[in-house]
Structure 1
Amino acid sequence: MNDFLPYAFFRGQLVPFPEAQLSIATHALHYGTGAFGGLRGIPDPENPDRVLLFRLDRHCQRLSQSAKFLHFELSAEEIFKAIEAFVQKNQPSQSFYIRPFVYTSDLGIAPRLHNIEKDFFIYGLQLGDYLSPEGVSCRISSWYRQEDRSLPLRGKISGAYIASSLAKTEAVASGFDEAILMNSQGKVCEATGMNLFMVRNGRLITPGYDQDILEGITRDSVIRVAQDLGIPVDQRPIDKSELFIADEVFLSGTAAKVTPVKQVENYLTPCDRPITDQIRQQLTLITEGRLAAYQDWVFPIALR
């Protein structure tokens, strides 16, 4: 069972988690007219009276932008303050995950975004490793990633995740841990909730924004860390066959962090992953607030 944090931010106030209830007629439940974020927090290794949130400003900015697709004006500052109050109220003592969500909160059956109420809530749960840090096996999904001309893929729109859900279940049912979705052009896109990277001949390669990927915040962090480490980075289309002969493949995301891929379909990737390991170690140090050069990525929140 999920270990939910005891309080939620719901309808503008902090309430016990079990009291944050929605009607079965809630518009967003029927039409996927919501957008969410996700960010991690950890107890500060150097100070037991505070927690550290990774790139809180970017997460608030992205959720604010996602809300605009729903015709909902919700500023990044409002989200920031609500998350800060939420964390202070919950007093988390272990690694945790925060899920803020904007949605059409009205009751009704007409699919629309005009003349309809919107709202914003936050809940959280204790969360360790979402995927095995030892590596995962992936299959190429029979389901394809949507196109930006049919859905606003620059936002984390809840309705878009039906494709991810279908692909994840298909993968697990066929004996794999994760799925890799292709885009409509037949190029590698992303996993079910993670961006994808591969390494070939010492270069880090990832699909660009023109490949219908999510603008991942962990993805951006990986690219910047790699560049700072002197690792060449290419953002370009990736063919399926390249994954089968790549030197390294890994997934990145808030929940997944940096997770190695040990197998794609029936092709095993090398066990030696020097670039993956180097980036993962660097990001761990950053999230723990141990690298001064990245202090602006870590947001301390006092608990007392």
Structure 2
Amino acid sequence: MPYTYLPVAFFQNRFIPFTDAKISIATHALHYGTAAFGGLRGIIDPQNSQQVLLFRLDRHAARLSQSARFLHYDLPAEKIQASIVEFVRHNRPTKSFYIRPLVYTSDLGIAPRLHEVEKDCLIYGIELGDYLPADGVRCRISSWCRQEDRSLPLRGKISGAYITSSLAKTEAVASGFDEAILLTAQGKVSEATGMNIFIVRNGQLIAPDVCQDVLEGITRDSVLTIARDLGIPVAERPVDKSELYAAEEVFLSGTAAKITPVKQIESYELPSERPIANRLRSMLAAIVEDREPAYRNWVDRVPLT
């Protein structure tokens, strides 16, 4: 997929042209997956073209700071947040975009370790519309299992963990599907390749609980909060594979994916009526666009002038 990159990157603690932000082929993180990343969307304020809206910037910064700690890197959330705001101001975007901050072991070396290794943080961005088809995706159950938290810290977005997502995504596309659903080593539903998953059964919104090796997604948390506020019954619990086929609705959530309905899993067609997913998607869009006063604290406003 060709991307249009924002012109300015934050690299080695300064803002420089994106095309000048380069790392060595000997960079430690490149060889060992010793990095962690975040991702958040920004949009031009529909009411003010000279202002950018960022969705839940504080939560994204806090999670990246937590991920950095897994790499033995002390990077305060406040510093991440301030750098992202300045990044937006330097780029002055004119279209919806996606911000990718990355913390990584920037040292050059061949020893797989986290001690006595230099670390750094970079930020770049791309213009981004819909990541997945808005009308829904077709999913298969992956032959690859989601990793377990006892093998790596799944409460962080550790870059090395995404080899499993990459294998599962390619396997799904190669077999005629759009996306993959990963099960845990115990056979319970975990998540998709870069998204959390929800099902609806008997009018209840159900999410695999955090003990199913899921990433603690910020959009996931937002969906659960909105659903409770709207009076939709909510449960977080283990989900069996067969429940996917029996569900009234299935949808994926994530920063890039937003809320994307699932229209087929394996050979099972899912109902085309999705009242709960549609209601949540409409509400989330209104919040992101700063049209819901009750959720104004979820939106950061960055003036470009």
- TM-score by shorter chain over 0.5: yes
Matches of residues 23-172 of structure 1 in structure 2 within 5 Å? 23-172=24-173
Distance in 2 (alpha carbons) for counterparts of 1:99 and 1:55: 14
Match for 2:131: what amino acid? Y
Match for 1:105: what amino acid? S
1:186 aligns with 2:193: no
Question: Which residue of structure 1 lines up, in the alignment, with residue 213 of structure 2?
Answer: 212
Runs of 4+ in structure 1 deviating by more than 6 angstroms, as ranges, are none
Question: Which residue of structure 1 lines up, in the alignment, with residue 287 of structure 2?
Answer: 286
Match for 1:265: what amino acid? E
Residue aligned with 1:164, SS: helix
1:243 aligns with 2:244: yes
Shift of 1:214: 0.2
Distance in 2 (alpha carbons) for counterparts of 1:43 and 1:263: 33
**What percent of counterpart residues are identical?**
68
Shift of 1:263: 0.3
Match for 2:79: what amino acid? E
Distance in 2 (alpha carbons) for counterparts of 1:28 and 1:282: 39
In structure 1, runs of 5+ residues without a counterpart are none
Distance in 2 (alpha carbons) for counterparts of 1:225 and 1:93: 29
1:19 aligns with 2:37: no
Shift of 1:168: 0.1
In structure 2, runs of 5+ residues without a counterpart are none
Distance in 1 (alpha carbons) for counterparts of 2:133 and 2:49: 27
Shift of 1:288: 0.2
TM-score normalised over the length of structure 2: 0.99
Distance in 1 (alpha carbons) for counterparts of 2:206 and 2:121: 36
Matches of residues 189-268 of structure 1 in structure 2 within 5 Å? 189-268=190-269
Match for 2:78: what amino acid? E
1:18-46: CA deviation from partner (whole Å, max 9, x where unpaired) = 00000000000000000000000000011
Residue aligned with 1:121, SS: strand
How many residues matched? 304
Match for 1:294: what amino acid? Y
1:110-135: CA deviation from partner (whole Å, max 9, x where unpaired) = 00000010000000000000000100
Shift of 1:48: 1.1
After superposition, the CA RMSD in angstroms is 0.3
Shift of 1:245: 1.1
Distance in 2 (alpha carbons) for counterparts of 1:152 and 1:31: 15
Residue aligned with 1:130, SS: coil
Distance in 1 (alpha carbons) for counterparts of 2:258 and 2:186: 27
Distance in 1 (alpha carbons) for counterparts of 2:281 and 2:118: 42
Residue aligned with 1:153, SS: coil
